[in-house]
Amino acid sequence: MSQFVEQLPVVLSALNEGFVQTLKLFIVTLLGALPLGLIISFGSMSKFKPLSSFVKTFVWIVRGSPLMIQLLIIFYMPGIVFHNPVFGGGEEGRFAAACVAFVINYSCYFSEIFRGGIKSIPYGQQEAGEVLGLTKSQIFFRIKLLQVIKHVVPPMSNEIITLVKDTSLARIIAMQEIIWAGEAFLKGSHGIAGQVWPLFFTAVYYLAFNGILTIAFGKLEKKLNYYRG
């Protein structure tokens, strides 16, 4: 027991460090993938056939292949195939590669959610806007967008909670997120070796963070529920 008390602060500080990496990846992915997802959804709905079929194929490839493979390709391809290791070997490079892979992957999932949200707006609103003499961009931003946001919040919150846990995949390219930090104590790290509990303890971090997200999304949904007052 006294050994546990001694180890606790060391383990927690290592796990906190790992969790900061997890959070950073989560935030960058959200900030990148939300706008990119919207752009991709426009691409897949475009009336310009070559563009929409190109985007649809791209979305199929990204959603259809494992994120783990995409991480490996994005980090290792530049050096091995093009002899140009753009990311470098340091921690920053691994983080950057993980960000690129996650933003691309998640923007494809988000794009389909946005597409569903945009398609759910009755076409009559488009016509009404045109009759009133609004431009296409006015119709989208002033009439449709807020309704789209309301519609996409539930599926989006689902995807975002999955994202929190998916960040653990980044350890395949040795990005040192929280599970990496927890697992390190199995073998030995920070002078503590052969400890199993830190690995299992990482789940507490995910649970707590996802709890906060669930509450926040619940509040957001309530706020957007303006038709029922």
Alpha helices in the chain, H assignment, sequence order? 2-45, 49-64, 67-82, 91-119, 123-131, 136-138, 145-166, 178-187, 197-224
Q: Output the smallest distance, CB 217 to other proteins, in A.
A: 28
Round to whole Å and give the CA distance between 65 and 47.
27
Is 197 among the residues that bind other proteins (CB under 8 A)?
Answer: yes
Does 34 sit near other proteins (CB under 8 A)? no
Cα 87 from Cα 93, distance rounded (Å): 4
Amino acid letter, residue 24: K
Per the CB < 8 A criterion, the answer to whether 153 and 216 are in contact is: no
Minimum CB separation of residue 129 from other proteins in Å reads 12
Question: DSSP 3-state assignment of 45?
Answer: helix
Could you tell me which of 32, 16, 17, 25 has the C-alpha nearest to residue 170?
25
Q: Kindly state the DSSP code that residue 21 receives in the 8-state scheme.
A: H
CA atoms within 13 A on the CB side of 221: 14
Residue 193 near other proteins by CB under 8 A:
yes
- Our finding on whether 55 is near other proteins (CB under 8 A) is yes
Residue with tokens 């990204």: 62
- Give the HSE-up count for residue 44: Cα atoms under 13 Å, Cβ half-sphere: 23
Interaction between residue 217 and other proteins (CB under 8 A): no
Contact residue for other proteins among 18, 43, 117, 129 (CB under 8 A): 43
39 binds other proteins (CB under 8 A): yes
Tell me if 88 contacts other proteins by CB under 8 A.
yes
Which of 23, 30, 34, 86 touches other proteins (CB under 8 A)? 86
Q: At closest approach, how far in Å is the CB of 137 from other proteins?
A: 4
- Which of 30, 34, 76, 112 lies at the binding interface for other proteins (CB under 8 A)? 76
Contacting residue, 31, 69, 132, 196, with other proteins by CB under 8 A: 196
Binding-site member from 19, 26, 87, 206 for other proteins (CB under 8 A): 87
Number of residues forming the site for other proteins (CB under 8 A): 51
Residue pair 126/211 in contact (Cβ under 8 Å)? The answer is: no
Rule CB under 8 A: which of 139-158 touch other proteins? 140
Q: Please, is 215 exposed, middle or buried when counting C-beta atoms within 10 Å of its C-beta (0-12, 13-18, 19+)?
A: exposed
* Closest approach of other proteins to the CB of residue 117, in Å: 15
Catalog residues that contact other proteins under the rule CB under 8 A: 3, 39-40, 42-43, 45-48, 51, 54-55, 72, 75-76, 78-80, 82-91, 93, 135-137, 140, 171-174, 176, 183-184, 186-191, 193-197
